[in-house]
Chain A
């Protein structure tokens, strides 16, 4: 079994790693790059805990081969905050108590940010359908949806021309 050398960009930084050709991007992120913020809840694309953004599209990193990341842009939960400055979605999750155990939270935050990046004013229904690929067993989704709606409102405020 020979390993593949993959050159990619993760959260804006050039990264290289060696991986088994059958390894998933999630495994490479967690084991090769030490980025354990992306979680594995199912390994089959059904829970969204491993959500990352690949070349602008959010995907389950458990359903991407690590080798496919060659030359591509990967954005993970670790890159959502700018330094120690939280993204509004992260801040609103905290303010609304939108996490209990917190295990699904990275996937939700990456997915919610992806939503707000292309839809600044989603309806409650749009938020719920967009996040339907992210399972949360603790919250019943109520506070998560409220946090995302509130983050959207804050981002709209911030983006308004002065």
Chain B
């Protein structure tokens, strides 16, 4: 029986070396996708490289208001960083909708991103927040937008031998607020039928000066809907602007029918959720400007 080798290196460079020497090896972060896929026989890696013993790959570092989230940080661990929770509550909430408590204690930000499921909950929130990630590989390190990693269901843009080391979030802008909502048939333990991540910046008079709206599970990868953002910028998020935003969201959806939902339902829910998510982000942005005032 082909059983993988197991490595638990202590440094990023060791991982780079192991991956370079064994193209069939896979990195193990939380394992909530990888181990399921191994057990079902869908994948049979030659080696498993555990990232969790590498210093700096688990946990959140706050540096001058920016956040560096180690790729092996468990979703629940994000809640331990009060600054992150205050700055990017939508990201923290999105990561803490995945699976169950048991799953979130293992599942990681890097894993959720690199599993490349179109329905990954944390990814639309990260994309809305303008997150980037640091990739390490044989050619050294590079920093790319989170949105550039997923290339299709189960596929990433990572080159052979590359892996995600950390995810970076900018400081929360003044007057900014973010949120994430998803639609699932149950209340927990489901894969998003649709997910919507929103990040807004409001001026002191409530005018939206910047917006990012990202959708999950409506296309092969996460979708950043620039038209929807444009519909909000310059408005005070009145109904007409929200209607235009919702229309742009619907227009951006390219979903499929599957066991988790019909294409039509996904498109309709993307608009409903985007609207609701904008409203939560707005409240957060307003409370931000109030607290600053």
Is B99 within 8 A of A133, CB to CB? yes
Is A133 within 8 A of B102, CB to CB? yes
B40 nearest CB neighbor, chain A only = A44
Indicate the size class of the contact surface on chain A: 20 to 34
Query: Is A70 an interface residue, CB under 8 A from the partner?
Result: yes
- CB-CB < 8 A to B101: which residues of A? 58, 111, 130, 132-133
Query: Is B144 an interface residue, CB under 8 A from the partner?
Result: no
A59 to B38, CA, bound (A): 18
- CB-CB < 8 A to A133: which residues of B? 99-103, 188-189
Q: Which of A45-53, A97-105, A136-144, A152-160 contacts B (4 or more CB under 8 A)?
A: A45-53
Q: Is the interface of A mostly helix, strand, loop or mixed?
A: mixed
Choose from B28, B102, B105, B189 the contact partner of A65 (Cβ within 8 Å). Answer: B28
Is A60 within 8 A of B103, CB to CB? yes
Q: Which of B1-9, B117-125, B166-174 contacts A (4 or more CB under 8 A)?
A: B1-9
A-B contact count (CB 8 A): 90
**Which residue among B6, B28, B31, B103 has the maximum number of chain A CB atoms within 10 Å of its CB?**
B6
A70 to B8, CA, bound (A): 10
- CB-CB < 8 A to B6: which residues of A? 4, 21-22, 65, 67
Query: Is A35 an interface residue, CB under 8 A from the partner?
Result: no
A45 to B106, CA, bound (A): 10
> Contacts A22-B4, A63-B106, A132-B188: A68 and B32 contacting too (C-beta < 8 A)?
no
A22 nearest CB neighbor, chain B only = B3
Minimum C-beta distance from A10 to chain B (A): 18
A58 nearest CB neighbor, chain B only = B102
Is A67 within 8 A of B31, CB to CB? no
> Taking beta carbons and an 8 Å cutoff, which residues of B are in contact with A?
1, 3-6, 8, 28, 30-32, 35-36, 38-40, 48, 50, 52, 74, 76, 99-103, 105-106, 187-189
* Top 8 A-B pairs, shortest CB-CB distance: A133-B100, A132-B188, A21-B6, A57-B105, A22-B3, A67-B6, A60-B102, A133-B102
